[in-house]
Structure 1
Amino acid sequence: MAARKKKRELSEKAQKRIRQRNLHVGITVIAAIVIIFSVIQFTLWRYVSKVDEEHICKNVFIGKTDVSGMTKEEAVKAVNNTLGDYRNKQLVLKVKDQGADVSIEEMGAEVENIDKLAKKAVGYGKNGSIWSRYQKIHNLDKKKYVIDESFKVDEAKLRELIQERAVPLEQKAVNASASYNGSGFDLTDEAEGYTVDVDKSVKKIKNFMNKKWNYEDAEVELKLDTEEPTIKKADLESLQDELGSYTTNAGWGDRVQNIRRATELINGTVVMPGEEFSVEQATLPYTEENGYVAGSAYENGQIVESIGGGLCQVSTTLYNAVLYAELEVTRRAPHSMSVSYVEPSRDAMIAEGISDFKFVNNYDTPILIEGYIDGNNQLGFYIYGKDTRAAGHSVEFESETLETTEYTKKYVEDTESAVGSQETEGAGMDGSTARLWKVTYENGEEVSREVINNSTYQTSDVTVKVGTKSDNAEATKLVEEAIATQDQEKINAAISKASALK
């Protein structure tokens, strides 16, 4: 028993020594690890602490720009300079197989959030744990770090560029057309077109610049919308009858050129059911570039020369054709003074922004307007369609003058002009009030009569300015006394006597 007890005591002492030895070893290992870790930490700290907090680490790029060693402000400037070097790069705005070039500079391109990018570049390798900072900085020895950039454009400038350069490349839809050949109608096919969707195109370009542009020439397919023709060939197959027509004498002088030009612009027009036609809109703009010249027109009781003068004869002739076709007139106004080419109340004045002639196609099928000046200088308008009026139905129009006011002629002194000289102002036209009757016949018998318009025409009085300026007081007095009588014969006689006294 004593031997076993002694042996057990010796074993316990041995185990205690082993435990103590293991403890010492463990403490030594831990101490070594702590020392090694501390050394590593210290080494890493010394490595990363050498990095300047205000300057960007080496081998750091913002897009194409090497911003190594720069401050935030210097990096912003460098990136902007890089973009400036590429300002002439072109972006082709594609419209089908055509393209319009715009430069990066024209679009007002800028690097988006450039301050934020520069701040990120400065902070690279300077945030996080020492180990992560070390890894980032150490990796820069082998591989550059690139901060991706995106670009923004000036939307207003971009929209303007699209309108100016891409929209003209659109292919407008082509409507079917018709022309009368003397025995029937020649019809042409319609064709689809395409237009630029400016809003969606702006969005697409902005997205491209923001995500894909890499400082090189590039192209973007613009967003297009299909444009359907409004008039189809099938619509025009109903044309078969003359609904109404009217002719006037085109007259003479430069105004004939204006009549011819406006008639060309209206000729061949198809008006769909329910559609309103405006002579003004069809013939604008009234400029020399659009083929118009100065011609006689009415203005403030005078006959003056005006670009497009004579157009009212076009609207007037068409107005009468419309009346015979029994289309719905929605806007018509008489001239300020009566005209010579139609009876009172059969005219329709055109004055840009003031007066227009409009009508609506109240048939269920399209109508075709044809107009021309023939070899006898006759201006004619013909309206074709599908006549649904009863057989034997016809209409006529009668002008009735209700009251006439004769123009006056007045002689006045012109003290600044030589005695006996005469200058006439005013057209010398009577004023009147009139109305137009629509008379309807069925099988040759009158069945109704109604007033369709009332018109008032101003007088255009004449003023004759007679010169009274002379070094001879007697000559001046003779003419002045004659002017006071307002008698033309006495005035002419006084002028003859005054001329002899000079």
Structure 2
Amino acid sequence: MDNNTDTSKETGLINQKFLSLKTIVIALTIISAVLSYFIITNMNLVKSYSSKVYPGVYVLDRDLSNLSKEELHNELTTLVEKLLNKNIKVISEGKEFTISYSELEASIDFSNVENEIINFGKDFNFFKKLNLIKKPESKEFTLSLSYNEELLDNFIANISSNVDISPTNATIYISGNSISVSDEISGIKLNSEKLKEELSSKIKDLNAPEVIEITGTTDVVEAKIKAADLRTVNHKLSSYTTYFKAGPSGTNLQLAAANINNSVVMPGETFSTEKAIGPTTIENGFVEANTYVAGEVVPGVGGGVCQVASTLYNTILRAGIIPTERMNHMMKVTYVPIGLDATLADNLIDLKFQNDSDYPMVIHSYAYNGTLTIELWSNESVDDGIRYEAVSVPLSDLSADAYLHGYDANGNLVVNQYLNRSTYQPFN
């Protein structure tokens, strides 16, 4: 009986061990199967994204997850076409101006971004790839827009040309001793720099609406010459008169005198006689008359205007003003003393002077009945009570020195300034 009992116990223990081993084998088999399924399934999952976009990839909030290369290209193409199908509207001073992105030659080259998106994550290890798929994190790719900046500048320039209003200077009219002044009118100017900054920023903002609306701001442009300044003109500083004969030269002289009449030279400004008279061309009304060329008198358009320059030269000297630029004629003239003449040549020779006072100066010029008179007006405080004279000191028939003399109220010589020496050629 004891032997049978022992045998049964041993058999039971063997059976239990067998069952335990079987259980372990079954468990290992299940675990192996599950692990194999996990690995195979996830490997297939990762492999399925070898030519697809990983989850969580965006461009401008557009989800591009799971797209194939072809689908990605089509999606980006559609997106870019929409982004470029926009218009710009600028409103300024009640006027509206529009331009499309296509007119600006706007473009978005998305080829590089497309490659970055499709290749994103492809060089990661297996587990990192799996993590991108199962636990995706948002990955934003950006596009860049370019455009033709010159076309944008042209658009802004067109707006400016339609919006800008130039200011109107105050004017002064002198007749005898009577002075009348008209008020200035302020102008407006488009703030082109600010508009360009705003437009550039909006155009590059791919989230901008289909129609970009911007207000083109303008700035007030003050007139350079104001009535308040001109009303300080109350005194004739100097005057000089020369005489001329009727004919082509007289015609040119009278036109030149009219062109410089009522010219205003503000404090600190330089007056150009050549610029004020304008080009001496047929189109500007000048005619052919005698001129000096290489020691000879020859016909030329504009002959006679130099008498206006010479008369003005003597006028400013008598106001105590020494010109910043002056040249004598090639040959002597008869309408002013030797050494006190001034010649002109378009784009070559000029008579210039600067207003160094604190008040505007006004040139009053008139010619009729063979008499040319040019006056210089300003404020009564400008001449400091000194009376000026231009003095010619002939050195020969063809040369002279010029001086500027100034006398105080008692007739005392207080200014004795050498000006220059003029040398002339004889007539051939």
* Structure 2 counterpart of 1:320, from 314, 323, 348: 314
What amino acid does structure 2 have at the position aligned with 1:176?
A
Q: What is the distance in 1 between the residues matched to 2:213 and 2:259?
A: 39
SS in 1 for 2:324: strand
How has the CA–CA distance of structure 1 residues 48 and 384 changed in structure 2, closer, same or farther, with 3 Å as cutoff?
A: same
Indicate whether 1:362 and 2:364 are aligned: no
CA contact (8 A) 1:296 1:304 kept: yes
Match of residue 383 from structure 1 = 376
Match of residue 45 from structure 2 = 44
What amino acid does structure 1 have at the position aligned with 2:335?
Y
* Structure 1 counterpart of 2:337, from 340, 343, 348: 343
SS in 1 for 2:376: strand
CA contact (8 A) 1:44 1:134 kept: no
CA contact (8 A) 2:234 2:378 kept: yes
TM-score, normalising length: structure 2: 0.70
Q: Percent identity?
A: 27
SS in 2 for 1:330: coil
Match of residue 72 from structure 1 = none
Q: What is the distance in 1 between the residues matched to 2:288 and 2:374?
A: 23
Deviations 1:401-457 (A, max 9, x none): 3322xxxxxxxxxxxxxxxxxxxxxxxxxxx21234445445584636655342112
Give the Å deviation of 1:300.
2.4
What amino acid does structure 2 have at the position aligned with 1:395?
Y
CA contact (8 A) 1:179 1:186 kept: yes
CA contact (8 A) 1:256 1:310 kept: yes
CA contact (8 A) 2:202 2:212 kept: no
How has the CA–CA distance of structure 1 residues 270 and 208 changed in structure 2, closer, same or farther, with 3 Å as cutoff?
A: same
How has the CA–CA distance of structure 1 residues 153 and 19 changed in structure 2, closer, same or farther, with 3 Å as cutoff?
A: same
CA contact (8 A) 1:239 1:366 kept: yes
Unaligned runs of 5+ in 2: 1-12, 55-67
What amino acid does structure 2 have at the position aligned with 1:314?
V
CA contact (8 A) 1:324 1:396 kept: yes
Indicate whether 1:56 and 2:54 are aligned: no
* Structure 1 counterpart of 2:325, from 319, 323, 331: 331
What amino acid does structure 2 have at the position aligned with 1:433?
S
Q: How does 1:240-389 map to 2 (within 5 A)?
A: 240-249=234-243, 251-255=245-249, 258-285=252-279, 292=286, 294-374=288-368, 376=369, 378-388=371-381, 389=383
CA contact (8 A) 1:369 1:382 kept: yes
Give the Å deviation of 1:335.
1.1
How has the CA–CA distance of structure 1 residues 368 and 124 changed in structure 2, closer, same or farther, with 3 Å as cutoff?
A: same
Indicate whether 1:117 and 2:113 are aligned: yes
SS in 1 for 2:323: strand
* Structure 2 counterpart of 1:401, from 384, 388, 394: 394
Unaligned runs of 5+ in 1: 1-12, 68-78, 137-144, 405-431, 462-502
CA contact (8 A) 2:184 2:225 kept: yes
Match of residue 455 from structure 1 = 422
Give the Å deviation of 1:263.
3.9
Give the Å deviation of 1:241.
0.8
What amino acid does structure 2 have at the position aligned with 1:452?
L
Question: How many residues are aligned here?
Answer: 392
How has the CA–CA distance of structure 1 residues 333 and 199 changed in structure 2, closer, same or farther, with 3 Å as cutoff?
A: same
Give the Å deviation of 1:225.
5.6
CA contact (8 A) 2:320 2:406 kept: no
Match of residue 7 from structure 2 = none
Q: What is the distance in 2 between the residues matched to 1:329 and 1:438?
A: 12
How has the CA–CA distance of structure 1 residues 198 and 337 changed in structure 2, closer, same or farther, with 3 Å as cutoff?
A: farther
Q: What is the distance in 2 between the residues matched to 1:94 and 1:253?
A: 56
Indicate whether 1:434 and 2:378 are aligned: no
Q: What is the distance in 2 between the residues matched to 1:238 and 1:170?
A: 30
Q: How does 1:43-192 map to 2 (within 5 A)?
A: 43-45=44-46, 47-49=48-50, 56-58=69-71, 60=73, 65-66=77-78, 96-98=93-95, 107=104, 109-111=106-108, 114-120=110-116, 122-123=118-119, 129-130=129-130, 132=132, 149-155=143-149, 158-159=152-153, 162=156, 166=160, 169-180=163-174, 182-192=176-186
Deviations 1:338-359 (A, max 9, x none): 2343332232112234322111
